[in-house]
Amino acid sequence: MNSTPKRYLITAALPYANGPLHIGHLAGVYVPADVYVRFLKELGRDVIWICGSDEHGVPITIRAQKEGCTPQQVVDKYHTLIKKSFEDFGIEFSIYSRTSNPTHYKTSQDFFLKLFEKGEFIEQEADQYYDPEANQFLADRYITGTCPHCQNPNAYGDQCERCGTSLNATDLINPKSAISGVKPILKKTKHWYLPLDKYQSFLEDWILKQHPEWKTNVLGQCRSWFDAGLHPRAVSRDLPWGVPVPLPNAEGKVLYVWFDAPIGYISATKELTPEWEMYWKSPDTKMVHFIGKDNIVFHCIVFPSMLHAHGEFILPDNVPANEFLNLEGEKLSTSRNWAVWLHEYIEDFPGKQDVLRYVLLANLPETKDNDFTWKDFQARNNSELVGILGNFFNRAMVLSEKYFDGKVPIKNNLDPEEIDYLAQILKQREAIIEAIENYRFRDALKEYMQLARLGNKYLAEREPWKIIKSDPQRVATIVYVALQLAASLSILGRPFLPFTAKKMLERTQH
């Protein structure tokens, strides 16, 4: 990949349409991705940002059973809620689609058929858990049990949410059906498998040799999978809800959600633009997947194997996965309602989207799990957003309005320190660019706030209000410098604080 791609394709993990969004989703994926996309647009880059609701998989059918409705009713309800929450929060996707639409069905079925016709799949019978009371095969999330790694008694058949380990249902200790609660039995069923072991050497070369710059948590998880040896992975499931396997004699079988969901990026791009192939098939495109750490395996091993096997698509340039965000020292939990729900936050804190964005950016779990607390939320709002950024910007505006009718005064002779202050604007801009280009969003935010700190320091040292009568020309220069810093803050702040930056920019232009 050359250093200046012609275009960018940014994807954000498709949220499951079985519940509302919470701050863990925002910190893990959507806020850093939104900053990155806004930043690229500020630089005038050709960029599209793809997302949508993931509407298949067992969590949807389980939610439908609990709520006494159909899976379609569940996804319609939560797709609408999630889409509106993103819009209200100021997350601006190029398209927010959904995997239950006809374009996605056709795209994912065509993808499956291409691999099938190329002979990439292994077709075989295997023992799968079956609920004798409910008379149905149990896909991974329909089985719970004890994790063999961390002893969590509530692990799922595909993953333990406590330790993040990816599992097979047969790995669980004391498995039970999530439908009836009975102990499942093993019964033979036929499925199609993607032979990940066949692609291991390609993946190792591509990830470990070609992309040593990827985040250590991403490389570490990939290495552990390589060390254990990759195995064939089923791409179909026995389920009544999902994209049907497009083959004869495959009744009751659907594409595994982790096969069809990432294809949702492709189908959404098709909906967005007739030039979708330019973004997915041209080596001049830089593709970046923003995800949480629980999706690393699927975006670094499974989906790239699918793309590689297909043969026509580019691979991601980076997969900057974040760790998890906790709430008040405890893991976020949908089942225990231990979360800050985005739609409720927007309702309870009208007009305060940027406060949450700022606090999440300052606490991003970039390299390790991090914690959100309301005390920190309050402290950062009061001491940083109001006390540092708001304080400097407001003082600069008030001085301009009070002494120069809100106009930018003509500067006189700048002293060496003032020349340094103005030069610092460019230095901070370069530091912000460097940090964002390397997916270090917390560092980028610190560099941005450093400019506001410099502004406060400058005004505190110069005290223009004390010399306005004796030396109005000096005050003109001081206010000129302060306004340059203020204008820079309003422009450089757009990726981080879009609502606030817009207000700041409007005020500097009046």
pLDDT tens over the chain, length 510 residues: 446 899 999 999 999 999 999 999 999 999 999 999 999 999 999 999 999 999 998 888 888 988 899 999 999 999 999 999 999 999 999 999 999 999 999 999 999 999 999 999 999 998 889 999 888 888 788 899 999 999 999 999 888 888 878 788 889 999 999 888 999 999 999 999 999 999 999 999 999 999 999 999 999 999 999 999 999 999 999 988 999 999 998 988 999 999 999 999 999 999 999 999 999 999 999 999 999 999 999 999 999 999 999 999 999 999 999 999 999 999 998 778 899 999 999 999 999 999 999 999 999 999 999 999 999 999 999 999 999 999 999 999 999 999 999 999 999 899 999 999 999 999 999 999 999 999 999 999 999 999 999 999 999 999 999 999 999 999 999 999 999 999 999 999 999 999 999 999 998 876
- ∠134-139-143 over CA atoms, to 5°? 75
pLDDT of residue 488: 97
Grouping H, G, I as helix, E, B as strand and the rest as coil, residue 129 is: strand
State how far the Cα of 302 lies from the Cα of 307, in Å rounded to an integer.
Answer: 9
Please count the other Cβ atoms lying within 10 Å of the Cβ belonging to residue 443: 17
**143-146 and 285-290 strand pairing:** unpaired
Q: What is the CA radius of gyration of the chain?
A: 26
Grouping H, G, I as helix, E, B as strand and the rest as coil, residue 156 is: strand
- ∠267-272-278 over CA atoms, to 5°? 80
Grouping H, G, I as helix, E, B as strand and the rest as coil, residue 95 is: strand
In contact, 124 and 130? CB cutoff 8 Å? no
Give residue-wise pLDDT tens across range 421-438: 999 999 999 999 999 999
In contact, 105 and 268? CB cutoff 8 Å? no
The one-letter amino acid at 488: S
**Does the model's pTM come out above 0.75?**
yes
Give residue-wise pLDDT tens across range 162-187: 887 878 888 999 999 988 899 999 99
pLDDT of residue 121: 97
Q: Which helix (H) or strand (E) segment is 271 a member of?
A: helix 257-272
pLDDT of residue 2: 45
In contact, 68 and 40? CB cutoff 8 Å? no
pLDDT of residue 510: 64
Alpha carbon distance, N-terminus to C-terminus of the chain: 43
Q: E-strand spans in 328-461?
A: 330-331, 370-372
Token code pair at residue 41: 């647009």
**Which residues fall within 8 angstroms of residue 188, CB to CB, at 6 or more apart?**
125, 126, 127, 128
Please count the other Cβ atoms lying within 10 Å of the Cβ belonging to residue 392: 24
State how far the Cα of 456 lies from the Cα of 462, in Å rounded to an integer.
Answer: 10
The arrangement of strands across the sheet holding 370-372 comes to 330-331, 325-327, 370-372
Find, among 203, 206, 191, the residue nearest to 229 by Cα. 203
